[in-house]
Structure 1
């Protein structure tokens, strides 16, 4: 897949939606994004203001999102278009005429194992949108190695509230979504029982009635074995007893222990990411050298760029402000107020 093909496809989508072709600036933005350039760099190269380039980009992503029926943004544009193209039928690329239709999902194809395996499913409805992403390159590389190279089954992302755990995981997904057959993001901010969570995870699969949790777990692990799936459970700390021993389950959520143990002890090709302020007990008691588990604890960032576009004027004080937040250093606070 090259930038010419992506431009042709985007052009056809824009025509179908607006009746107009891509203009030169829109093509420049798409080409720059395809090449991994920032809006600032694109603006400099085409002698336009960064705000103008950003505005054109936002309108493009909005039109493409409406055309494809899924969220499209600067970070996921390229692989979203490539994924859609690879899972669709296209003709006459050379003549700039593209016939776009989804793969036929008739009953015969649904009943074949290959048809089921190739059917992609992404549910990122409640996943956050990333406006800016600063640093964390090494953390992204670590996640990529664990999940894509080592097939780590259970990964815990730990850190204080607001330190960037959720943003890090979403950025990883934006970069690697096309490498999974299915991705589901769920939040436990308002936790539910394991039984209801399993119903939720299995709701898009046409299954026979599964009356027990054991039946539902078996069906879930059949899917995790046959497909490369990624499940994200955010705000996991809410199923633990607050102000008690770290990682002690509330009684109504004790069944989650069964799920996490099965994830580590069962052979499959999928991964589950737990985003939490507290470590779950299964991760505490197992040896990472013996089990397919990993933990990543995030520390604070000391990059002043994280305060860009916040309205703060005095750039010289940004690093001091970050240091104050991370360390609570009284001496730094006194210096800033002098």
Structure 2
């Protein structure tokens, strides 16, 4: 999904953007980065260990906040030399920053204990004073066969692993409401509040800041019905044969229609991810110049699903402005997540973000 090598405090859950009108899209956008958290002992990598990745991720989030970026997001993969356990990292970033949103894109719910996850998420959200934006999904192909079984999970009879992920998700969403459900011990070690007990710590408002990473129109509609925000990545089920950005725009429209039909009272948020590089230095051109000819690609996932993989954008800033203005999904979304080549180091990735925020976003009316 990535491209190139290694590819104040607020409790608000709203988008903070002004929409131009129904179906027209969003002008002002939140712009964040999405890191896959790769590390490698290769001498050419500036991120050679898990410790390097974790420390550098904190530093990059701090730098991104100072540059005026809106979000620091991390992909979650198990059994891989990549980001895996998100909550310690998100809590650390939350403690070192004050404005930037912190989140995931996405956590594989096949691997998660929903109650334990609610505790971890509640703690990270409270540490950050309500800045957690948690992306979850039914998962993608992993490094090992049925890796979730090693974590102690298995589908119920008649379920698929995707069904199990959605079941975990529905429990997680219910627990985040903060309602008591557990019968208290009549002889507790510590005094209980009256009534049934909930998991603690509970963070009010977090339920409205859960996002579903959707690869199809159907799961986007399902997410809308459950009141989750929508994350659409650089990969999607190829449902019509059209370019990725067109299929994503239609997915977003279907999601928003389903949201309105469900009668939710708040405005939903929608993000898309892209690999975008403004070529302003010779080093940029050496790393990403060849991506200027990138095109969408078609491939198979798990030998069952035909998927479309989005192109990378790499060009001089003025050219990028014209190209991105034609990306229908970006125009329809309120949040743009820029995939970063984290193995190139903090300083270089901060430079990439600064170029987009300074030379591209203002020209498109996103800032």
Q: Which has the larger radius of gyration?
A: 1
Structure with the higher fraction of residues in strand conformation: 2
Which structure has more RCO (C-alpha within 8 Å, separation ≥ 6)? 2
Indicate whether the TM-score tops 0.5. Answer: no
Measured against the shorter chain, the TM-score band is under 0.3
TM-score calculated relative to the size of structure 2: 0.26
TM-score calculated relative to the size of structure 1: 0.28
